[in-house]
A = this chain, B = another copy of it.
Amino acid sequence: MTKIDLLIRNAKELLTLSSSFKDASGLGIIPNGAIAVREGRIFWIGRTDQLPGDFVLCPEGREIDAKGKVVMPGLIDSHTHLIFAGSRENEFEQRVQGLSYLEIAGRGGGILSTVEATRKASFAELFSLGKKRLNRLLSTGVTTIEAKSGYGLSLEDELKILRVMKALQKDHPVDIVPTFLGAHAIPKEFKDERSKYINLLVQEMIPEAAREGLAEFCDVFCEEKAFSIEESREILETGKRHGLKPKIHADQLSPGGGAELAAELGAYSADHLEYVSQKGMERMAEKGVTAVLLPGASFFLSMGIYPPAREMIERGVSVSLSTDLNPGSSMTESLPLMMTMGCLFYRMTPQEVVQATTIHAAKSMGRGEEIGSLDTGKKADVLVLDIPNYKYFPYHFGVDHVKTVIKEGKIVHKGPKLYTDSVP
């Protein structure tokens, strides 16, 4: 007799994303699939009609009938700016009326206006805002996110943001992988002394964030208008010396050699990549750097240029898709919508956008052993979707297909309650 905490049965399509279940779809689909969970981990996975006879559900255990539904790993959002205060709907209106993102930044808007609001906000305010966003992410099926600091831009405020993340990690079921992004912009008090800010980053902020164990990754906004290649290299190398793994915002607004730098430094991911060079893609493929693409920003900034996703995939680069959740260039928590945009903007197939938000996303944040596929021993982060097949997920867009979200074996969210004849 084997005690089981959670049992999911009868999934029409069980997308394992596991190399143990190779099939034509590339998603390792088990038809009529079942999952047994024990102590928050996947204990058994296979066909419902092959469930071992000695499994017994614990008294407090739960059973889910997934008949007619798709079951897959919880979604993973590999690039978010979770913690910020304020909102920028007025800038949104200005952009719609024709001002460019850089023009708005030049007028004192943009990132720095969010920095001002975030500096003013208390720990409790940021915690509350972050929690609301985690709730929304969870409701769209997300069970793990990467989250960047970067709206503090001072020792004190960057640490405040990272501490909020740490507190949320304890409080909320969504797992948070924290990234230090002090090199998001030059704060206004260092406007004419950028080398002083670089020194502050390198000598105080990175060492302190690392010493307190508040960050796992170090990121930099490598861009003509932000940090140069040389500055980015110094910052990321400093991070590495302090045990922070590198990530990089690369080639978003102009070609700048960011992808090449990512490969040189062994970064886990290079993100954005609208203007990535041929050489950059080649180097990323060689070094196994994941491309994190952000269609929400393409959409929200009306960029009109897209990263060459197809070319990257054909070269063997692992591609992830993320929300880029942030108040300036992608104000959304919907990873499913990013999957649809990945198909339509980047010509990724439904199969590729599923990989991009599960197994490839896990790899981009160094979590490939724990999450991203449904394999025995991995965390039981599982999504039940009220759709007939996986291709339907990006196809029927802008609405909620989530039936149940399971985080480490526990049911943490149920889908929306729609109108019935009974009065609510």
Could you list which residues of chain A lie within 8 angstroms of chain B, going by C-beta atoms?
A: 87-90, 92-93, 96-98, 132, 134-136, 138-140, 171-173, 296, 299-300, 302, 331-334, 337, 343-345, 347-350, 388-389, 391-392, 394-400, 410-414, 416-419, 421, 423-424
Question: Knowing A98-B347, A349-B97 touch, does A173 contact B419 (C-beta < 8 A)?
Answer: yes
Additional 17 contacts, C-beta under 8 A, given A331-B395, A412-B424, A414-B417: A87-B395, A89-B389, A89-B395, A89-B396, A92-B350, A92-B395, A96-B349, A97-B347, A136-B418, A139-B419, A140-B399, A300-B344, A333-B399, A337-B398, A400-B416, A411-B423, A413-B418
Q: Is the CB of B396 within 8 A of A90?
A: no
Least CB distance from A393 to B in Å reads 9
Contacts of A348 in B (CB 8 A): 96
Measured between beta carbons, the chain B residues less than 8 angstroms from A171 are 421
Check if B347 sits within 8 Å of A136, measured CB to CB.
no
How far is B138's CA from A92's CA once the two chains are assembled, in angstroms? 27
Residue of A92, A97, A414 contacting most chain B CB atoms (<10 Å): A92
Cross-chain contact of A89 among B93, B132, B302, B350 (Cβ < 8 A): B350
Alpha-carbon gap, A14 to B345, bound state (A):
37
Cβ of A411: which chain B residues have Cβ within 8 Å of it? 423-424
- A347 near B424: Cβ-Cβ < 8 Å: no
Q: Which of B172, B173, B332, B417 contacts A398 (CB 8 A)?
A: B332
Q: Which residue of B lies closest to A393 (CB)?
A: B89
Q: How far, in whole Å, are A150 and B344 apart by their CA atoms in the complex?
A: 26
In angstroms, Cα B379 to Cα A275, docked, is 52
Closest 3 A/B residue pairs (Cβ): A334-B398, A135-B418, A89-B395
A418 to B131, CA, bound (A): 10
**B92 contacts A391, CB within 8 Å?**
yes
17 contacts between A and B (CB under 8 A): A87-B392, A89-B350, A89-B389, A89-B391, A89-B396, A93-B349, A93-B350, A135-B419, A136-B399, A139-B400, A140-B399, A302-B344, A302-B345, A331-B397, A332-B399, A337-B398, A411-B423
